[in-house]
A and B are shown apart, each in its own frame.
Chain A
Amino acid sequence: MSLLLRRTVASLCLSVFFLTSTAYAGGSMDWGKKIAEEGNGSPGSVACMECHRLNGGGMPSIGSPRIAGQTAFYIEHEILGVQKGTRYAPVMAGVVQNLSKSDIRAVALYYAGVRTPKLPDVSPPDPALVALGKHIAQKGLWKKNVPACVLCHGPNGRGIPPHFPYIEGQNKGYLLRQLVSFAFLKRKDDPQGLMRGISRRLTQRERKAVAEYFASLNPPATSSHKK
Chain B
Amino acid sequence: MKIGPTLLVLASGLILFSGSRGLASPALAQEPATFQPPSDSEIPSDPFGNLVRKGERIFTQTRTYAGKYVGNDLTCESCHLDRGRKPYAAPLWGAYVSYPRFRSKNHKVSRLGERIQGCFRFSMNGTPPPLDSDIIRSLVAYSFWMSRGAPVGVKLAGARMYKMPPPHRTPDPFRGKKVYAAKCALCHGADGLGTTSGHDVAFPPVWGPRSYNMGAGLAKVSKLAGFVKMNMPLSKGSSLTDQQSWDVAAYVDSQPRPADPRKRQ
Contact = CB atoms under 8 A, between A and B. Distances in A.
A158 B236 contact: no
A161 B186 CA distance: 11
A197 B236 CA distance: 8
A145 interface: yes
A152 B187 contact: yes
B236 A192 contact: yes
Given A154-B197, A163-B186, A191-B186, A197 B203 contact: no
Contact of B233 (A140, A154, A155, A194): A194
Contacts of A193: 236
A145 B235 contact: yes
Contacts of A151: 234
A145 B237 contact: yes
Contact of B235 (A139, A155, A160, A197): A197
A152 B236 CA distance: 13
Contacts of A194: 233-236
Contacts of A161: 197
A133 to B, nearest CB: 16
Interface string B43-87: 000000000000000000000000000000000000001110110
Given A139-B83, A152-B187, A192 B200 contact: no
A194 B85 CA distance: 21
A155 B200 contact: yes
B181 interface: no
Contact of A142 (B86, B195, B196, B236): B86
B110 to A, nearest CB: 28
Interface string A138-171: 0110100111000110110011110100000000
A155 B201 CA distance: 10
A142 B77 CA distance: 14
Interface on chain B toward A: helix, strand, loop, or mixed SS?
mixed
B49 to A, nearest CB: 18
Interface in B123-156: none
Interface residues of A, number: 21
A198 interface: yes
Nearest to B186: A191
B183 interface: yes
Given A147-B234, A155-B197, A192-B233, A142 B183 contact: no
A159 B235 contact: no
Nearest to A198: B235
Nearest to A192: B233
A191 B181 CA distance: 13
A42 to B, nearest CB: 34
A159 B187 CA distance: 12
A222 B107 CA distance: 56
B202 interface: yes
B202 A154 contact: yes
Nearest to B202: A160
Contacts of B237: 145
A172 B197 CA distance: 23
B26 interface: no
Contacts of B186: 163, 191-192
A158 B197 contact: yes
Interface string B167-205: 000000000000000010011000000011110101100
B81 A160 contact: no
Contacts of B195: 160
A142 B234 contact: no
Interface of A: 139-140, 142, 145-147, 151-152, 154-155, 158-161, 163, 191-194, 197-198
Interface of B: 40, 81-83, 85-86, 183, 186-187, 195-198, 200, 202-203, 233-237
Given A139-B82, A197-B236, 12 more contacts: A142-B86, A145-B235, A145-B237, A147-B235, A154-B198, A158-B198, A160-B197, A160-B202, A160-B203, A163-B187, A192-B183, A194-B233
